[in-house]
Amino acid sequence: MRLSDDGAVAASRLVLIDEFETDDGYAFVPVRPLFLAAGDRIELAGQKAELVFVDGARRPLAGGWETRCRAGVRRR
């Protein structure tokens, strides 16, 4: 799943997620794949990721960042 510039994308249907790739060449990989229900979203802020449910409840996601190797991509 690719993320928008603000780091939040709402799922329009049930979706299985195993990583979140950003436009600048990084990916957040959760410890376990997860399902997003319609209206749920992921928010990335700095090094943290949170699952935000449609009712506004939040749950932190355990996982880590990886660098994707592509030409012209910044490295951390």
Q: What is the per-residue pLDDT across 3-37, written as a single tens digit (0 to 9) for each?
A: 555 555 556 678 888 988 877 788 889 999 998 88
Task: Give the N- to C-terminal CA distance of the chain in Å, as an integer.
Answer: 21
pTM (whole model) above 0.85: no
Query: 42 by DSSP, 3-state: which?
Result: strand
Output the pLDDT for position 63.
Answer: 92
Question: What are the pLDDT digits (tens) for 40-75?
Answer: 888 887 788 898 998 999 999 999 988 877 655 555
How far is the C-alpha of 67 from the C-alpha of 12, rounded, in Å? Answer: 27
